[in-house]
Amino acid sequence: MPNNGEQVTIDAVREVLGTGSPYIIHKHLAQWRAGQAEPAEAPKVEIPEALAAVPGAWAQQFAHDSGAGVREALE
């Protein structure tokens, strides 16, 4: 149907099938439509370089501080 330019509706599906419960067709049609939807594109966010550097600096400082006691004990 969609390849022929026809709108896919419950009545159109029933016409092609010759019969069918509108409830059951609706259930399957809703599932089919959900599968046809294109996923939304993730928004592009720009983070200032100075702000992006903060977590890395924190991680380096944390790693340095956490090993300080071990280094002193080994000396």
Q: Express as a percent the part of the chain with pLDDT over 90.
A: 15
Q: Where are the domains of the chain?
A: 2-36
pLDDT band at 39 (very low <50, low <70, confident <90, very high): confident
Q: What is the dihedral of CA 34, 36, 37, 41, to 10 degrees?
A: 130
Residue in 2, 48, 8 with CA at minimum distance from that of residue 25: 8
Note the pLDDT of residue 73.
Answer: 64
Contact between 14 and 28 under an 8 Å Cβ cutoff? The reply is no
- What would the mean pLDDT of 16-44 be, rounded to a whole number? 89
DSSP states of 3-51 = GGT----HHHHHHHHS---HHHHHHHHHHHHHHHSPPPPPPP----HHH
pLDDT tens track for 3-21: 677 788 899 889 888 988 9
pTM given for the model? 0.45
Contact between 27 and 12 under an 8 Å Cβ cutoff? The reply is no
Whether the per-residue pLDDT at 52 is higher than 70: the answer is yes
Whether the per-residue pLDDT at 55 is higher than 80: the answer is yes
